[in-house]
A = this chain, B = another copy of it.
Amino acid sequence: MVMKKKTIAATRPRRTGAETQAPAESSDAASMFDPVERSPAYTKVSSAIEHKILSRALRDGDVLPAELELAQQFRVHRSTVREALRQLESAGLVARPPGAKRMIVSRPEAAKVASGMRHALVLHEVSFVDVWEAMMVIEPEVAALAALRRTQADLAALTQTSEAFRESPEGDPDSVNIVATFFEQLGAASRNQVLVLAKQSLTQALAPSLARMIDTVPQARTRITDAQRRIIVAVRDKNADEARKWMSKHVRDFKRGYEVAGISPDTPISV
């Protein structure tokens, strides 16, 4: 167990070196050689594992081998494995159940993906209208689908959420979350995971400024309550057109609210 390490270090072909000077003697505009891809070991390790996960050789819930064992299998140092694991962890492909030692393979949750998208939106200084526009595209259709596919349980959940919103006190900072939940449940009722994923990012991105809006515009609460009620009725009656129509109004109202609140539609969304 002592000499193994030496052997490895000697075997390992100090990765770089012969690559940098190649381009010097290429003919002209069209280069003769493609830049050689030099990727650090931690990337190699992480993509190896990632591949196993995506190809479902490792399935959701499987326990990953211990770091040391991985290190031995890949013939790299444990630190290297750990760096790889951090990549996968932040991608949501592996996770550690609270208070567990080993990592398990997991599929990225909607919230995780959404937050990645939210980061992108924030950093690209996407404006409120852009998000709103996307909502105008997606939400009404989702509502329509939900109306067609909802189960009794979906309906109950929606009703309860709407109830909760109606009863939430005036300045309750939690109100927005309830509104978000309503959207989320509608997504769930649409039985389309893809749309749910896309939607969630939007609501997440919008939430902070929406909160301010609701607190500023007095009519906001009643308008939201009203829209929710209409949507619920449409969903209950499996009336896709109505659902679409009211969701459309509902989302459109958001923009109105922003205008009334004096928030410019071009304000970039923020954290």
Question: Judging by beta carbons under 8 Å apart, are B130 and A194 in contact?
Answer: yes
A73 part of interface (Cβ distance < 8 Å): no
Please pick, from B84, B110, B119, B133, the residue contacting A194 in the complex, using a CB distance under 8 A: B133
Do B108 and A194 touch across chains, with their CB atoms under 8 A apart?
no
* A133 near B192: Cβ-Cβ < 8 Å: yes
Q: A91 and B119: CB pair below 8 A?
A: yes
**B residues near A141, Cβ cutoff 8 Å:** 137
By the criterion CB–CB under 8 Å, are B134 and A198 in contact?
A: yes
Number of A interface residues at 8 Å Cβ cutoff, please give it: 59
Instruction: Tell me the A61-110 residues at the B interface (CB within 8 Å).
Output: 79, 82-84, 86-93, 98-99, 107-110
Q: Which of A129-162 contact B (CB under 8 A)?
A: 130-131, 133-134, 137-138, 141-142, 145
- Determine how many copies of this chain the complex contains: 2
CB distance from A140 to the nearest CB of B (A): 9
Tell me the nearest residue of chain B to A79, going by C-beta.
B79
Give chain A's interface residues, CB within 8 Å of chain B.
Answer: 15-16, 35, 42, 46, 51, 53-56, 60, 79, 82-84, 86-93, 98-99, 107-110, 112-113, 116-117, 119-124, 126, 130-131, 133-134, 137-138, 141-142, 145, 192-195, 197-198, 201-202, 205, 271
Compute how far the CA of A194 lies from the CA of B121 in the bound complex, rounded to whole angstroms: 7
**Inside 8 A of A60's CB, which chain B residues have their CB?**
123
What is the chain B residue whose CB lies nearest that of A126? B193
**A192-B134 in contact (CB<8A):** yes
Q: Which residues of B contact A92 (CB under 8 A)?
A: 116, 119-120
Contact B113 A116 (CB under 8 A): yes
In the assembled complex, which residues on chain B have CB atoms less than 8 Å from the CB atom of A134? 192, 194-195, 198
Chain B proximity of A84: nearest CB distance (Å):
8
